[in-house]
Amino acid sequence: MSLPTIDPTDAKRLIEQGATLIDIRGADERAREHIPGSHHGPLAQMTNYAGVNAPIIFHCRSGMRTANNAARLKEAAPCEAYILSGGIDAWKQAGLPVVTDKSQPIEIFRQVMIGAGSLILAFVLLGAFAAPAFYGLAGLVGVGLVFGGVSGWCGMAKLLEVMPWNRPAVGA
């Protein structure tokens, strides 16, 4: 079961005619950048959009999450529904407006990639130039990444979520 895709230009036209644009990304992604007028309906807390009669257009960053979850999104939409082809990335490439707040931290997923990659690189270099035992630490970071991918639970992400730079600003 899948949903039809719609390009950004046609999506904008439908939105101007009353369609609802729903951003299925996480709150951390949306806080940093979103399409003006879009509604937040994170995939992790997908609800049923009963009562919505106008078309619904779902979007993520690149279109991959929406495509991979098309059946679930179709089930949640009681009306005509689409996937924004290429997500917010394609929306921006089409020259359409986005709201960007660079004061917001980058997404936790990207922070995990930066942190894990940096640790592995450091441990490999230390293994090569200081002591071979550091290769084992690089391997442990790799095991943590595999465990996170298989289980859906990432200790590094949990740790990063409580770091000061990821806390909501006072008054925000």
CATH for 5-100, options being 3.40.630.10, 3.20.20.210, 3.40.250.10, 3.30.300.30: 3.40.250.10
Residue 116: predicted pLDDT: 97
Residue corresponding to tokens 């130039």:
129
pLDDT of 170 above 70:
no
List, in order, residues 6 or more apart from 33 with CB less than 8 Å away: 88, 98, 99, 100, 101
Distance of alpha carbon 59 from alpha carbon 35, whole angstroms: 10
15, 19, 22, 60: the active-site residue? 60
Give percent above pLDDT 90 in the chain.
Answer: 87
Instruction: Tell me what pLDDT residue 49 has.
Output: 85
Give 27-43 pLDDT, tens digit per residue: 999 999 999 999 999 99
Rounded to whole angstroms, how far apart are CA atoms 103 and 124?
Answer: 33
pTM assigned to the model = 0.81
79 is catalytic: no
Given a contact cutoff of 8 angstroms between Cβ atoms, the answer to whether 110 and 117 are in contact is no
Question: pLDDT of 60-100, one tens digit each?
Answer: 999 999 999 999 999 999 999 999 999 999 999 999 999 99
Residue 18: pLDDT band with limits 50, 70, 90? very high
